[in-house]
Amino acid sequence: MVVLHVKRGDESQFLHETSIDSLVDDVVKDIVGIYNGRLKVTRICYEMEELSSHGTFLPLEMQGLTDEQIKELKLEDPWAQRCAPAGYVEAKDEMGRRCGRAPPPNLQAVLKKAADTAKEYISKKHVDLRKCMTQKDVCKALDELRGATKIVFPAGLPPHDPVRMELDNVEDLAGTQAANEVIDPARACLWACGKKLLSGNKLSDHLGKNDKTKVTVKLCTSSEGAPGREPVLSEEERKQLMLQAYRKQEEWKKLEEDDDDHYMNSKWADGQNLKRQFHGLNNISWKPMLKK
């Protein structure tokens, strides 16, 4: 099996294992599914932190309004009491996005543990650990988050809550930064070794017949053009090379400043040393004669 080191720009994302005989279209579809799935898990984990701190999402017409404005307009959140967790605590959302009925500390810990576990399933650290990622890992992370919300909110979440919309795959990302990060599978492509992997071909048409190899590929969209080539040296190797050059430069400076000839007093620099050895004149101590 060939291992693909997937990057987006210059940032490592994950490792993906596939066959060298796989179609490029199938590989792109799998990689985009994992990439977009990881983004979904990250978005849910962020919203789950807000859910844990301030409760469920307010209806859109109530968001951003003050308490006085809500009373004046006679608005009411029909989902706040219906979806409130058991033993909820009041925690007003200063941003005016959530109802302020937060889970108690023990249930907040359930949400936090689930979010941490989900993040671990899709962590970029797996690249350094040489662990490949599949869509099953993304599904496990989503199942972990879905299970935690059912435990904490047994009555369910409001249909307009971002966490529920993400878990139900009905999220609307229009006008958000997240929409720019998600990649449309129909416009996705892979680049390797400075060349685009063409649709309809097999991986072997571009990467050769060796099925036991590791290749760095970059995930792009068809409108982005060719990505930058990979640097010859990694960042850590470049730092070590610069450090070595700096140390050598400092050594040369010290040698240039040190013009002392004290080394001439060393035994190895004495031209008469061999002669004295033959005549037995080495290690002779002298002391004055005492007169009687």
pLDDT reported for residue 153: 94
Taking the C-alpha atoms of residue 138 and residue 188, their distance in angstroms, rounded to an integer, is 19
pLDDT score of 267: 66
Residue 8 has what pLDDT? 92
Domain hosting 45: range is: 37-198
8 Å CB contact between 51 and 111: yes
In angstroms, the CA 43 to CA 37 distance is 10
Q: Is residue 8 part of a domain?
A: no
pLDDT of residue 81: 87
Q: Is 13 exposed, middle or buried (0-12, 13-18, 19+ CB in 10 A)?
A: buried
Return the pLDDT at 38: 96
Residue 67 within any structural domain of the chain: yes
**Residue 4 counted as domain residue:** no
Q: Is residue 79 part of a domain?
A: yes
pLDDT for res 208: 87
Q: What is the pLDDT of residue 143?
A: 96
Residue 176's pLDDT is 86
Distance, in Å, from the CA atom of 218 to the CA atom of 223, rounded to the nearest integer, reads 14
Are the CB atoms for 95 and 57 separated by under 8 Å? no
Measuring CA to CA, how many Å separate 161 from each of 4, 50, 62, 151, 157?
36, 11, 13, 16, 6
Cα 125 versus chain centre, distance? 7
Q: Is residue 122 part of a domain?
A: yes
User: Is 85 within 8 Å of 111 (Cβ atoms)?
Assistant: no
Which stretches of the chain drop beneath a pLDDT of 50? Answer: none
**Is 161 a member of any domain?**
yes
> Is residue 82 within 8 Å of 155, Cβ to Cβ?
yes
Per-residue confidence (pLDDT) for residue 289, from 0 to 100: 62
Q: How would you class 32 by CB atoms within 10 Å of its CB: exposed for 0-12, middle for 13-18, buried for 19 or more?
A: buried
**Inside any domain, residue 6:** no
Instruction: Work out how many domains the chain is built from and give that number.
Output: 1
The residues with which 217 forms a beta bridge, in sequence order, are: 6, 192
